[in-house]
Amino acid sequence: MSIKTLLKPVVAAIGNYPWRFLLYQLLFVILMQQLGRLIWFFGNAYWLQPLGIWEYSKVFFIGFYFDLPLVAYCFAPLWIWWVLFPYSIHKRNYFVRSIAVLLLFLTLLLNAIDAGYSNVTSKRSGKELLDVLLDPANNLSTYILDYWWGVLLMLGLALFLWRYFPMPPKQEIYPIRRKSLLLFPVSFKGRNFVNLGLRFILIMGMLLFAGRGGTRLRPLRASDASEFVLPEISPLLVSTPFSIISSFQSNKLKLVNWVNNPQGKVLANSLPISLIIDQLKVHKAIKDSLSFTTSPDNYLANNKTYPSPNIVLIVVESLARDYTGFLNGAPYTPFLDKLAKNPDAVVFPYCFANGTKSIEMAPSIFAGMPNLMEDFFITSSYSTNRFTNAFGYLRKLNYTTQFFHGSNNGTMGFRSFFKSGGLQEYYGINEYPHADLDFDGHWGIFDEPYLQYVCKRLSENKQPFFSSVFTLSSHHPYAIPKALEKQFPGANLTVQKTIAYADYSLEKFFESARKQPWFTNTIFIITGDHTSHGTLGYFYSPSGHYEVPLLVFAPGRGSTLQPTMNPVILQKTCSQLDILPTCLSYVWNTSTVRLGMGRSLLDSSYAGYSYHYDKGLFYIIQYPFVLVLNDRGECVDFYRQLRNSNKQESLLTSQNTEFLNKKMELFQQLKATIQLYRTALTSNRWDELFNNR
C-alpha cells in the first residue's frame, strides 16, 4: 500500500467539514491576536526603544508562538464544543458564534485597555489590571467618556468579528450528517463513540501542546519573553490576556539558593528598628519645652526622654522627577522648587520608586518591602503574613499613627494592609465631612480641600504623631476644580496640569500648617508613589521610569539637618524602602536604622541601591549602573545610563576592572536580596529576618 493511499483518509478529513472550518477558526483567532498586539503597539510606540525594523518584525513573528497558550486557554470552550457537537457548528447556530466572538472580543478589549494603561506602567499588565478595573474607587464611566472614540472602534471591531468569524454554511452538514468525522471510517457498531474518543484525544492533545508552548520542560510564561527578544520590547511580544493568565499561574514564590548567607549581604551591620526602640526606652510623652535642636545624645546619656518630633509623610500621586523644576527644570512645581531651596530642606536627587503602581508604594515605603514578584503583596497569598510596618513600630514609641487618603475606604486594600501592620487610624472618603461638595466626580476628594482637612485633623492630634497622606488629583482622568483650570501650566486633562494643581495644594497646606503649634516640631517628607507619562524617552527606560523626588523639610532645624546630610550621603542611590529609615536615623541620631529591606542613607556601610521587578526580570540600580537578572539567577544585562539620555552603554562583556567589580557587587547584592525576600515571604518570617534581628 502506497503512502498516498494511507494519507487519503487524512486528506479527505481535512478537506471536508468540519475539520476545514476548525482550521479556519484557529487561523482567524491567531491572526486577531496579532491585531491585539498591533493595537497595543500603536498605543505605546512612542516610548518603545527604536531598535530597528528587524527587531520589531521578529516580535510579531515570534508572537505566533506566544499566542498558542492563549488560544488554548481562552478558547477552550470553543474547542471542547468541537469535540462534543461538531455537527452543530454552523452559521445558524448563534449561540456558538456568540461564545466564539465574545471570547475573541474580550482578548482584544484587554489589549486595547492595556494599550492606555501601559503608558503609565511601561509594561504589560497581569491580573493587577483586573484589580484596577474592579477597584471600588474606579469609575469606569469616566474612561468610557474620555475614550469614546476607542469605544466606537471596539464596537466596530465587534461587528467585524461577528460578520467574518468563519462558520460553515448549514447546507454542508447534510452530506456528512450520517457519516463519522472520517477519523475512523470503518463501519461497525459503536463507531460514533470511538470517533468521539478520537476527537477528544486529538483536540485535547493539541490544547495541551499549545497550552504548554510546545515540549518545554515548564509551561511557557509571560516572563519568558526576554529569552526570545530584547527586554526593551518584550512587553510587545506578550499579549495582555496571556500576561494575566501567567500572573494567575505564578502566585507562589519559588525558593532559590543562589548565595551563601544572603542575610549578611543584604543587611550588613544595620540595626533593626525594634532594637532601636529598645535602646530609646521611651516611657512618657515629650515635654512641650523640649527643644529638638538639643543634642539627642545628651538625653540618652542622662536617661531622659529622647526627642520625638512629629513626622508627616506626603505621598503625591504620580509625582515623578520628570515634572519637577528642582530636579528636571519643569514648570509644574513652583512651590516645591522654592521649598527645595529652603535652608531647612534637603533633597535626595537619586531616589527611585520600587514599583509602577500605587498599590506597590504602600509596602515599599511603610514596610520596607519591594515588589519582587508577579503579584502585588497586598493582593497576594502572602498578604496574611505577620509583619510590622512603620506605623506599628512608631506606635510602640507612643506616636499617634494615621493614614489619610480621600478615596474609597476599600481602595487597593490600603486600610487592611496598614491596619494589619499596626496603624491606629485610617481616614478615607467616609470620614471626610464634605464629600458631597469636594468630590472630584471620579476618585475622591480634590487635593486642596483634602489637605486642608488633613491639616485640621493633625492639629487635633496628641503629639508626637506619625501621619501620612496620599493625594489623588494627579490621577486619570486628571480633574481639577473648574475655577482653577486656567491657573496652571499644561494642557487640560493631563497629568502635568494636575501635578501643578497638587503643588498648589501643597503650598496651601503649608500655609495653614505654619500657623499650627505642632509645625516647628515636625519633620515633613514629600515624595511620589510612582511615575506617569514621560516627556522624554529616557523616562520609559528601566531606570528613568522609576525616578521620583524625595525632599525632607525640617522647619527651623536646618542647622542640624544640613550637616547630617553631607554630599556623600545625598549622592547615594536610594529607593522608597530607605525613606523612613533615613528620616528616623536623623531623628534618633543613630545611623544604622533599618525597616524591612530599607536602610538609612546615613549608614556609611550602606552603598545605596534600588530594586524592582519588571517584565519578568529583576533590576538593581545604583546610579548610573543598572544590572538585570532573570528568574534563574543569570545576569542578562549590565549597563550604564546617564540621566535624560536614551543611550545605554553596555558593560555586560566589559573587561574593565572597575566595571567588573561593580557588576559582581550588584550581581551578588541582587541575588541575595531575591533569595532573602522569597525566604521571608514563603516562611512568614518577615519581621524575624528583617526587623527583630
Helices (H), 530-635: 558-564, 567-570, 579-588
Q: Which residues lie across from 620 on neighbouring strands?
A: 611, 627
SS3 at position 677: helix
pLDDT exceeds cutoff 80 at 403: yes
> Where is pLDDT greater, at 141 or 678?
678
Residues 25, 103 contacting (CB under 8 angstroms): no
How far apart are the C-alpha atoms of 474 and 501, rounded to whole Å?
8
Structure confidence at residue 297 (pLDDT): 35
SS3 at position 18: coil
Work out the pLDDT band at 188, boundaries 50, 70, 90.
very low
How far apart are the C-alpha atoms of 329 and 129, rounded to whole Å?
33
Alpha-carbon separation of residue 498 from 331, 333, 343, 432, 494 (angstroms): 12, 10, 28, 21, 7
pLDDT exceeds cutoff 80 at 263: no
Residues 446, 292 contacting (CB under 8 angstroms): no
Half-sphere exposure of 499 (CA within 13 A, CB side): 31
- The mean per-residue pLDDT over the stretch 141-155 comes to 77
Residues 404, 427 contacting (CB under 8 angstroms): yes
How far apart are the C-alpha atoms of 510 and 347, rounded to whole Å?
18
Amino acid at 223: S
Work out the pLDDT band at 267, boundaries 50, 70, 90.
low
Structure confidence at residue 296 (pLDDT): 32
The model's pTM is: 0.75
Structure confidence at residue 192 (pLDDT): 64
165-169, 472-476, 487-491, 638-642: range with lowest mean pLDDT? 165-169
SS3 at position 219: coil
- The mean per-residue pLDDT over the stretch 515-522 comes to 94
- The mean per-residue pLDDT over the stretch 387-397 comes to 89
Structure confidence at residue 143 (pLDDT): 67
How far apart are the C-alpha atoms of 564 and 523, rounded to whole Å?
14
Structure confidence at residue 171 (pLDDT): 52
Q: If you count DSSP H runs as helices and E runs as strands, how many of each does the chain have, helices first?
A: 27, 17
Q: Measured at the alpha carbon of residue 346, what is the angle toward residues 340 and 351, in degrees to the nearest 5? A: 95
Closest CA to 646 of 42, 120, 49, 226: 49
Work out the pLDDT band at 276, boundaries 50, 70, 90.
low
- The mean per-residue pLDDT over the stretch 575-592 comes to 90
pLDDT exceeds cutoff 50 at 294: no
Give the Cβ contact number of residue 272 at 10 Å.
Answer: 22
Work out the pLDDT band at 563, boundaries 50, 70, 90.
confident
Closest CA to 421 of 390, 467, 388: 388
Max mean pLDDT among 34-38, 95-99, 213-217, 348-352 falls in 348-352
Residues 6+ apart with CB under 8 A from 625: 638, 639, 640, 651, 662, 666
Dihedral over Cα of 495, 497, 501, 503: its sign: positive
Alpha-carbon separation of residue 84 from 81, 200, 366 (angstroms): 5, 8, 54
How far apart are the C-alpha atoms of 458 and 450, rounded to whole Å?
12
SS3 at position 313: strand
Alpha-carbon separation of residue 234 from 459, 536, 610 (angstroms): 50, 20, 22
pLDDT exceeds cutoff 70 at 284: no
How far apart are the C-alpha atoms of 580 and 586, rounded to whole Å?
10
pLDDT exceeds cutoff 80 at 160: yes
Residues 392, 422 contacting (CB under 8 angstroms): yes
pLDDT exceeds cutoff 90 at 668: yes
For 72-80, the CB contacts below 8 A with 24+ separation are 72/206, 72/207, 72/208, 72/210, 72/211, 73/211, 73/245, 74/103, 74/106, 74/107, 74/241, 74/245, 75/29, 75/100, 75/103, 75/104, 76/207, 77/103, 78/25, 78/103, 79/203, 79/206, 79/207, 80/203
Q: Check residue 520 and report its DSSP letter.
A: G
* List of domains in the chain: 3-249 (no CATH), 262-284+293-691 (3.40.720.10)
Give the Cβ contact number of residue 308 at 10 Å.
Answer: 23
Closest CA to 424 of 369, 467, 383, 464: 467
SS3 at position 402: strand
SS3 at position 567: helix
Distance in angstroms between the alpha carbons of the first and the last residue of the chain: 78
Angle at which helices 53-74 and 240-249 cross, to 10°: 60
SS3 at position 610: strand
Max mean pLDDT among 24-38, 93-107, 304-318, 508-522 falls in 508-522
Residues 6+ apart with CB under 8 A from 367: 387, 388, 389, 390, 421, 595, 596, 686
Angle at which helices 53-74 and 76-84 cross, to 10°: 50
Q: Which three cell numbers mark 309? A: 518630633
* Omega before residue 517 within 30° of 0, cis: no
Q: Which three cell numbers mark 295? A: 543634642
Alpha-carbon separation of residue 214 from 451, 595, 625 (angstroms): 55, 45, 37
- The mean per-residue pLDDT over the stretch 102-116 comes to 87
For 34-39, the CB contacts below 8 A with 24+ separation are 34/60, 34/63, 34/64, 34/67, 35/108, 36/107, 36/108, 36/110, 36/111, 36/112, 36/239, 36/240, 36/241, 37/63, 37/111, 37/236, 37/237, 37/239, 39/108, 39/111, 39/112, 39/115
Structure confidence at residue 2 (pLDDT): 53
Q: What is the mean pLDDT of the chain?
A: 82
Strand extents, DSSP E, 244-329: 271-272, 310-316
Structure confidence at residue 661 (pLDDT): 95
Share above pLDDT 70 across residues of the chain, in percent, rounded to a whole number: 83
Q: Which pLDDT tens digit goes with each residue over 54-70?
A: 888 888 888 888 888 88
Structure confidence at residue 432 (pLDDT): 93
pLDDT exceeds cutoff 60 at 218: yes
Helices (H), 216-291: 234-237, 240-249, 262-267, 273-280
